[in-house]
Amino acid sequence: MLDLLVNGGTGDQVVAGARMQPEGVDAPFRVVDYDDVEGMVKAFDGVQRVVFIPSFADTDKRAWQGRNVVAAAERAGASQIIFISIMDTRLDSPMPFARAYGEIESALTNSSVPAVILRTSMYTDNLAEQYPMWLKTGQLVTCAGDGRVSYVSRDDIAASIVAVLQEAVERHGGKTYTLTGPEALGYADVASLINELYGAKIKLVDVEREEFASRLKEIWGVAYGGLEHVARVTPMFQTVFKQGLMSEVTSDVLRLSGRPPESARTWLTRHK
Ligand SMILES: NC(=O)c1ccc[n+]([C@@H]2O[C@H](COP(=O)([O-])OP(=O)(O)OC[C@H]3O[C@@H](n4cnc5c(N)ncnc54)[C@H](OP(=O)(O)O)[C@@H]3O)[C@@H](O)[C@H]2O)c1
C-alpha cells in the first residue's frame, strides 16, 4: 500500500511514500512512517497534496497514526489531504475501526489543511480472498443474514483518487464522497453469482455470530491460518452487514471518475 505525495496543483509530479521502497514502483520515493511525525514533515516537504491510506493497525493506533499524518501535513504546509476513509465513521458505530476513521476525519476538520474525504464501502476484492474456500467446501457460511453490501473495487477507488488529483485543489476541497459499487448484494446473491460463474453448487449457510466466529478456522481452513486480525474482525463486519450499515449505494464513483463503478459480476468475471 502506498501513499501518493503529489507536487503541483493538478498532480503533475507524483511521489510514492511508504516505510520501504516497494518493488516495481517507478515514481520517486520518500520514506513515510505514520508513527514518525518528524520524518513525515520532512517527507511532505514541498508536497502539495497527500493521499492518505491508513495502515491495518488496531483502532486506537490507526487513529493516532491518522492524527500524526494530519499534523505532519499541516506542519509541512500541504494544501490538501485526500483521506481514504470508511462508509460509517460514527464514533459509536459497531463497525470495526469506524471510530479511528471518525477521529481522523475530526482531526482533518480541525486542521488548517483542506481535506477531501473518500469514504469507501467494502472492497469487491475481498470476495476473491473468500470464494476459493466456498468453492472448495461447497458452503458459504455467514452470519450476515439478508444484509447487503455495496461492494466497490480497489480499481474504482483508485480511479476516483486519480480524478480528484487531476482537478484543481479547490474543486473538491472540503467535500466528502462515499465510494460504492452500483448495487448492494447479500451473500445469497454472491453465492448465486459464484455458482453461475463457476458452474458450482455452493450452499448458503446462515448461522449466529457466535457460531460463525467459532467455525471460522474450519470455514477458512489453512488459507486463513495466519490472519488472526481478519478472523477477529470478520464476525464484527458481518454483523454490520446484517444491520445494513454497508449497503448504501451512491453515484460518487461515476461523479468523480466519469466512469460507472464495476459490478461484482464484472469484477469477478474479470478476475476469473
Ligand atoms: N473496506 C474494505 O473492504 C477494505 C479491505 C481491505 C483493506 N481496507 C483498508 O485499506 C487499508 C490498507 O489495508 P490492506 O489490506 O492493504 O493492508 P495491508 O496489506 O496489511 O497493508 C498495510 C499497509 O500499511 C503499511 N503500514 C503499516 N504500518 C505503517 C506505518 N507505521 N507507516 C506507514 N505505513 C504503514 C504497510 O507497510 P509495510 O509494507 O511497511 O508494512 C502496508 O503497506 C486499511 O486502512 C484497511 O482498513 C479496506
For residue range 123-142, what is the model confidence (pLDDT) as tens digits? 999 999 889 889 999 999 99
110, 188: one domain: no
pLDDT in tens, 192-234: 999 999 999 999 999 999 999 888 877 766 555 556 777 788 8
Take atom 35 of ligand 1 and give the residue whose Cα is closest. Answer: 55
Cβ-based neighbour number of residue 38 at 10 Å = 11
- The confidence score (pLDDT) of residue 227 equals 64
- The confidence score (pLDDT) of residue 48 equals 93
Supply 91's cell numbers. 464514533
Query: Does residue 240 form part of some domain?
Result: yes
DSSP 31-75: E--TT-HHHHHHHTTT-SEEEE---S--HHHHHHHHHHHHHHHHH
Query: Does residue 173 form part of some domain?
Result: no
112, 197: one domain: no
Take atom 1 of ligand 1 and give the residue whose Cα is closest. Answer: 122
Residue 131 Cβ inside 6 Å of ligand 1? The answer reads no
pTM for this structure? 0.94
The preferred substitution site among 2, 56, 246 for testing ligand 1, maximizing ligand atoms within 8 Å of CB, is: 56
Query: Does residue 161 form part of some domain?
Result: no
Under 8 Å between Cβ of 65 and 57: yes
Supply 242's cell numbers. 446484517
1 Cα to the center of ligand 1, angstroms: 6
224 Cα to the center of ligand 1, angstroms: 17
- The confidence score (pLDDT) of residue 7 equals 64
Residue 87 Cβ inside 6 Å of ligand 1? The answer reads no
Average the pLDDT over 87-95 and give the result: 93
Residue 226 Cβ inside 6 Å of ligand 1? The answer reads no
76, 132: one domain: no
pLDDT at 12 over 70: no
Structural domain span for residue 192: 125-149+182-247+262-270
What three-state secondary structure class fits 151? coil
pLDDT at 69 over 90: yes
129, 222: one domain: yes
Q: What's 43's domain CATH number?
A: 3.40.50.720
112 Cα to the center of ligand 1, angstroms: 26
Supply 206's cell numbers. 446462515
pLDDT in tens, 146-197: 999 999 999 999 999 999 999 999 999 999 999 999 999 999 999 999 999 9
Q: What's 188's domain CATH number?
A: 3.90.25.10
Residue 222 Cβ inside 6 Å of ligand 1? The answer reads no
Number of folded domains that form the chain: 2
190 Cα to the center of ligand 1, angstroms: 25
Q: Which helix (H) or strand (E) holds 158?
A: helix 154-166
2 Cα to the center of ligand 1, angstroms: 9
Residue 1 Cβ inside 6 Å of ligand 1? The answer reads yes
Query: Does residue 156 form part of some domain?
Result: no
